[in-house]
Structure 1
Amino acid sequence: MALSAPHLLLLQLFISWIFFLPRLCLCSVMQPVLLPLKAKAIPAGSILRPPNKLSFRHNVSLTVSLSVGTPPQEVTMVLDTGSELSWLHCKRTPNAASVFDPVRSSSYSPVPCLSPTCKTRTRDFSIPVSCDSKQLCHATLAYADASSVEGNLATETFRVDDSGLPGLVFGCMDSGSSSNPGEDSKTTGLIGMNRGSLSFVSQMRSPKFSYCISGRDSSGILLFGEARFPWLRPLNYTPLVQITTPLPYFDRVAYTVQLEGIKVSGKTLPLAKSVFEPDHTGAGQTMVDSGTQFTFLLGPAYNALKNEFLQQTKGLLRPLGDPNFVFQGAMDLCYRVELTRATLPQLPTVTLMLRGAEMSVSGERLLYRVPGMVREKDSVHCFTFGNSDLLGVEAYLIGHHHQQNMWMEFDLAKSRVGLAEVRCDLASQRLGLGV
């Protein structure tokens, strides 16, 4: 579920892949640099199998460069735990910097209408799949930022170094619309990583994956498989919410956790637990989403947090004082900070209380400087929690900005998410992946 933002925060993340033999949005970087695949061994005993290394960049989303097809073509894809189907742009447009050309690949195979794959149900398909004029499976995908893509389902080999995943189902998209066409044209597509049967992680049959995003420098890790590192503190696990009955507004293949409360500097907001629970329609689930930058709360929780944060920052921060300014359409708590000020004042910590675990957000991660926005001699900083009601999204979303310097493990086998605070730049260095 990708939400766009017009800011570049350059972060190069390295990825360690453990391959399991399988059965076998849209955000982008403002100045993309397609780096070649590299192989680098991690010290013996660190992981179960020798990994390969890819390059990551990130602004409002995480993107990975890898090769697809035979012979291989370099592509750049957004990593999105909120989406299922992986897809690539397959038709060059005047502004497109990166596309996949299926005509050049001998391993490309379109999915026919009569294939069972074409009948697979996924919430990613906002419009039911259909047959095109060539009797091929046609699909349309829509995202929360009003962007959409459409094209044909197909199978292809996705390669990392000398290893490959043959026969992986993806979307070969040849048209669509974007909320930010200039930037979205610079990525080739998206890797869907939720729990749906067509997601990348499901098709490669990996029981778990984890990532660690640095908020300071150009280092980080994405790992498929078991994270057995002596320096990694024990993870706190929160179970995934399981609802077997189909509900219209509940995404059953998302990484849904149970938010039970919110604290500001240790003070728990006076909200009933029912505020954080899905209602009879399924609206109100809490999703961990790497395809969304910031964190969004439903109205009652957001307003309570906003009021308490305002109260605890009186005298520390100067409110913007412009009721008409709402950053990204959902973030209406903004402040003026003197341009000459090097650091922000000490801010109250905001803690998301999950079932069995907590996620604390502090310091600079609480405020985001709006690029290019200056009021007299002040820059404009906005609170990094937004109002889901203003977005028209009936859910709580925990974005990757608040996952920085957290080891995030997605355990599909045991239906849980594990987390622990860690310096992700140091973790990357310990694994020999620092830049």
Structure 2
Amino acid sequence: MESSLSFSLPETLVLPLKTQLISSGSVPRSPSKLPFHHNVSLTVSLTVGTPPQNVSMVIDTGSELSWLHCNKTATYPSAFDPTRSTSYGPIPCSSPTCTNRTQDFTIPASCDSNDFCHATLSYADASSSEGNLASDTFNMGSFDSLDMVFGCMHSVFSSNTDEDSKNTGLMGMNRGSLSFVSQMGFPKFSYCISGTDFSGLLLLGESNFTWMLPLNYTPLIQISTPLPYFDRVAYTVQLEGIKVSDKLLPIPKSVFEPDHTGAGQTMVDSGTQFTFLLGPAYTALRTEFLNQTTGVLRVLEDSNFVFQGAMDLCYRVPITQRVLPRLPTVSLVFRGAEMTVSYERVLYRVPGEERGNDSVHCLSFGNSDLLGVEAYVIGHHHQQNVWMEFDLENSRIGLAQVRCDLAGKRFGVAH
């Protein structure tokens, strides 16, 4: 495998995926595999610095710069300590890394009082972090130590502190020049998340295996002109339609096309849990799903309850009912490929939400307009049991329905 980097990469690195949070030190290390688990976010454990420090990072295909908490607090007990690493080095703001390679940051890099490169990052869920760009050695499985540029963050605001406090930082996996995959020089990466126990894997490198189903590919959409609302380094695909069961919804094609400002792109994002659709598409889906579930499910009649601020179609299901009735599937139709969300993932049981003897289940698609997000976002909940290949070399994403727990066994990933 050719790489633009000077070190030799093994053809693939396989990282097992698991749902329980495991401390980095308690995981058995095999030469080329790393622990990788899923709860509300997908995380990987690795070591950074000299001597190595254990860190846990959220895998995020929707962002560029990888970063670590560098300020240990009661809220964020898991932090990287740069003063303990002899290989750590802050990036000066006069460095080409600071002046040239930060051009896709939504907030431009700046100089701090020590003339170090200062970065401020903000995310769609209102989380933000800021600190300095730095470099240090990252150790992953059988790879040699890699010198990586990352953000050493001293100030972090999270919209989900409970979840984020369990991790040391975030691993940016988009197409920007400072993303983890760009710095590693991989031509492609893939992941697969099981729909039952969330076991699965992340695979860095080639994934051409004869036992796999053929992938259906959809091209990545690229716009060379900078537009205010278009993220040029996101994994943007063209959504062309939505089906409920086999019924194609009567949504004009123009609803799925980015407008003259770039608003309305469709992004595949592993850092977001659910899928969000712009208002007209969401309303059409909500209406048809409601029609097809009439008499099958009991609607939660509570206009004040909107799950995660964007999901307003919810149902009451008796707590004693172990299995949901068979529900309509929802298919996202892309150019050249289709992603079908089967009935057990169409609804999401809201944790801790009960009404009398009923639990609350909501349609797992939300309304982007209610979040103030000018985009379609395909979250990881709907990528379960789908082999997702991000082919950077050929600017495309490959999809195939697959049993991810069985795929893990094929790769010898033990859980």
- The structure-2 alpha-carbon separation of the partners of 1:229 and 1:167, relative to structure 1 and needing over 3 Å to count, comes to same
Which residue of structure 1 lines up, in the alignment, with residue 208 of structure 2? 228
Q: CA deviation at 1:23?
A: 5.0
Mark the CA change 1:218 to 1:355 in structure 2 (over 3 Å): closer, same or farther.
Answer: closer
Map 1:391-430 → 2, pairs under 5 A: 391-430=371-410
Q: What are the Cα deviations for residues 198-257 of structure 1, in whole angstroms up to 9, with x where unaligned?
A: 000000100000000011125211111111222201000000011111100000110000
1:286-342 CA-to-partner distances (Å, cap 9, x unmatched) read: 000000000000000000000000000001111001011000000000000011111
1:210 is paired with a residue whose SS is strand
Residue-by-residue CA offset, 1:344-365 (whole Å, 9 max, x unaligned): 0011111100000000001210
Residue 200 of structure 1: aligned partner: 180
Deviation per CA, 1:376-409, whole angstroms, max 9, x where unpaired? 1100000000000001000000000000000000
Secondary structure in structure 2 of the residue aligned to 1:300: helix
Are residues 1:184 and 2:167 paired? no
- Alignment counterpart, residue 258 of structure 2, candidates 262, 278, 292: 278
2:377 & 2:188 partners in 1: Cα distance? 21
The equivalent residue for 2:94 is 114
Is this contact kept in 1: 2:193–2:384, CA < 8 A? yes
* Superposition deviation, residue 93 in structure 1: 1.0
- 2:22 aligned residue: 33
Select which of 348, 352, 355 maps to 2:332.
Answer: 352
1:163 alignment partner, SS class: coil
- Number of equivalenced pairs: 404
5+ long unaligned stretches in structure 2: 8-17
Cα distance between partner residues in 2 of 1:384 and 1:157: 39
The Cα of 1:97 is off from its aligned counterpart by 2.2
* 1:337 and 2:317 matched: yes
The residue number in structure 2 matching 1:44 is none
Q: Cα offset for 1:160? A: 1.6
| Counterpart pick for 2:118 among 138, 141, 152 | 138
> Measured at CA, do residues 31 and 413 of structure 1 come closer, stay the same or move farther in structure 2, by a change above 3 Å?
closer
Q: Is the 8 A contact 1:258 1:276 kept in 2?
A: yes
Quote the Cα distance in structure 2 between the aligned partners of 1:130 and 1:289. Answer: 27
2:292 is the alignment partner of 1:312: yes
Aligned-partner residue type, residue 239 of structure 1: P
**Aligned counterpart, 2:10:** none
TM-score of the pair, normalised by structure 2:
0.94
Of 236, 245, 258 in structure 2, the residue corresponding to residue 256 of structure 1 is 236
Any unmatched runs of 5+ in structure 1? 1-17, 41-50
Q: Give the letter for the 1:356 counterpart.
A: G
* Residue identity (%): 70
CA contact (8 A) 1:213 1:220 kept: yes
Give the Cα separation in 2 of the matches to 1:339 and 1:119: 56
Give the Cα–Cα distance (whole angstroms) in 1 for the partners of residues 339 and 271 of structure 2.
Answer: 18
- Match among 355, 365, 390 for residue 385 of structure 1: 365
CA distance in 2, matches of 1:374, 1:235: 41
* Cα distance change on mapping 1:241 and 1:388 into 2, 3 Å: same
* Deviation by residue 1:24-75 (Cα, 9 ceiling, x = unmatched): 7xxxx997321346454xxxxxxxxxx7111112122101110011111000
Question: Does the CA contact (< 8 Å) of 2:101 and 2:178 recur in 1?
Answer: no
CA distance in 2, matches of 1:124, 1:360: 32
Distance in 2 of aligned mates of 1:186 and 1:31: 11
1:157–1:164: 8 Å Cα contact kept in structure 2?
no
Amino acid at match of 1:337: V
Using the size of structure 1 for normalisation, the TM-score is 0.89
**Alpha-carbon distance in 2 for matches of 1:217, 1:93:** 32
Residue type of the alignment partner of 2:23: L
CA distance, structure 1, for counterparts of residue 381 and residue 107 of structure 2: 31
| RMSD (Å) for aligned C-alpha atoms | 1.8
- Asked if structure 1 preserves the Cα contact closer than 8 Å seen for 2:314 and 2:363, the reply is yes
Alignment of 1:95-110 (within 5 A): 95-110=75-90
CA distance in 1, matches of 2:162, 2:390: 32
